[in-house]
Chain A
Amino acid sequence: MSKIVGIVGTVPDPAFPLIHGKASLADGRLRIGGREVSVDRGTPALLAAAIRAAECLEGVDVYAFLVGDIGRGGGSRALYQFLEQHLAEFDLSVLAFHYLQPDVDWHNRVLFAVDAMPRRPVLIADAGFMYAAKMSGQAACYDLFTPDRGELAFLADELAPHPFYTRGFILHQDQAVPDLIRRAYAHQNGAAYLLVKGRTDYLADEKQVIATVASPAHNAMEAIGGTGDTLTGLLAALCGAGYSRTDAAVAAALANRLTGRYANPSPATQVAELIDKIPQALSKALNGYRKEASHVG
């Protein structure tokens, strides 16, 4: 069975062409299709995290679908069109969607293309594509959404078409995360599982909060751009390695926090410094997981 993890997203360079292929890291830079990209933020950071995680996981390959887009949407639409036409040719164990211009019509076309794939991959949506998935009313088609607390409030607000319009009474800090999770599911805006990133990470399904991960805690992580991207990259790699969606989510949350322990970050730390710590952090997180699994067994 293939363990290929597909990652779909954008690069902040309008001249970057539509490229797909196996992605790797060399000297801290992402390499794909003869091109190199810095991994300081966005989808390249997610890819770098997945690749570093795959180093600890047997047989996992990371395959990227990338295009340049700086917010005008043209690149995203070209990539959507490519996926609509070609996704059926790919056998992927996981497919994670990331920084893409939210577009409900194109989202729906891509979801149809997923149905035509040789097997249904574990579907993960984050960032702009998660916004479109919520807007489309088809959140339940996804295995995992990875919102932060603000994005969870957006999922919980049945009227908001974008986090920018989340109503104040829902966005308010006093709203407890479990309440927002319940509200998101009540309005059918949750995937099978929600992995909510924050001071405490929550894993939940429609019925309950399944797990929380609150330590180690590093306040500075909230300010660092890309820590959500690395979490999604870890999650995608672990799902690709065959971990169940819940085990993958808990291990990814723990490993992402452990990168903070090893990097000892300040609010000025850049995400590349955390990505470097992923092999160490993931080994530690999985070691705990294996011990627990053998204890249970």
Chain B
Amino acid sequence: MFGFFGKKKRRRTNKKGTLSVDRGILVFENTSDVIQAERALKQSGWTVRVMGPPPEIQTGCDLVIEFPLIEELNILRELEAADIVVMQVVPVTAPLLEPVSLFHTRDFGDYLMVRAANMKITVSKKDMKIVNISGGGCPDVPYLAREMVGKTLPAAPRPRDLGHTLCGYALDLAYGELCRKS
């Protein structure tokens, strides 16, 4: 789903076959900061990807941003300019959890539903109005549903702009997939 470092920079392994430390993760206070940081860095042309944190810094509802460690200073400067606070920078020495990248689409005839991870979004094909949002377990899901249901896809706020949790992030992936299909 996400490209990383472009074609020229592939992950390097040492003689033992383990990953060498050329990647780092940026740790933020909450998922909202991760979403903002991802947007800011991608807008500036950085190739970064959102991943799951390693177990030692996991609390259950987390995202981190994986980045090329060699660019640490430039990326931190970029985020500071955007007023986004990074709590920790940690080198990556083991594989990180990957966000779900499978989408499931269901055609109900007059309606189309897309599911990403545990989140589902359904639109009316006639006018692309969002008619239902379901699934999820984090408290921003009912909030996002309240803000989005009844609006058309282009008029609705993006989940990544209002959401704060992994469920919100998953809903944004489903929303993006639905936009690509419409």
Asked if B60 and A135 make an inter-chain contact with CB atoms under 8 angstroms apart, the answer reads: yes
Would B164 and A71 count as touching, CB distance under 8 A? yes
Q: Return the contact of B146 from the options A12, A227, A266 (Cβ within 8 A).
A: A12
Residue tally, chain A, CB below 8 Å to B: 59
What's the Cα separation between A281 and B140 when bound, in Å?
30
Having A99-B138, A100-B139, A223-B108, one finds 13 other A-B pairs with CB under 8 Å, namely: A40-B146, A99-B139, A102-B137, A103-B60, A148-B135, A161-B58, A163-B100, A164-B99, A164-B170, A172-B102, A220-B108, A266-B111, A268-B111
Residues of B that sit less than 8 Å from A by CB: 30-32, 52, 58-62, 97-102, 104, 106, 108, 110-111, 113, 115, 117-118, 120, 122, 124, 131-143, 145-146, 149, 163-170
B143 lies within 8 A of A165 (CB): no
Q: Please give, as numbers and ranges, the residues of chain A lying within 8 Å of B133 by CB-CB distance.
A: 225
The answer for the CA separation of A220 and B134 in the assembled complex, in Å, is: 12
Instruction: Identify A131's interface contact among B102, B137, B163, B164, CB under 8 A.
Output: B137
Are the CB atoms of B30 and A72 closer together than 8 Å?
yes
State the CA gap A162–B141 with chains docked (Å): 15
Q: Chain A residue with minimal CB distance to B146?
A: A12
Q: Say yes or no: is A128 at the interface (Cβ < 8 Å to chain B).
A: yes
List of B residues within 8 angstroms of A40 by Cβ: 145-146
6 A-B pairs with the lowest CB-CB distances in the bound complex, closest first: A71-B140, A42-B142, A71-B164, A127-B137, A12-B143, A268-B131
B138→A71 contact, CB < 8 A: yes
Least Cβ distance of A112 to chain B in Å? 18
Which of A76, A159, A162 contacts B139 (CB under 8 A)? A76
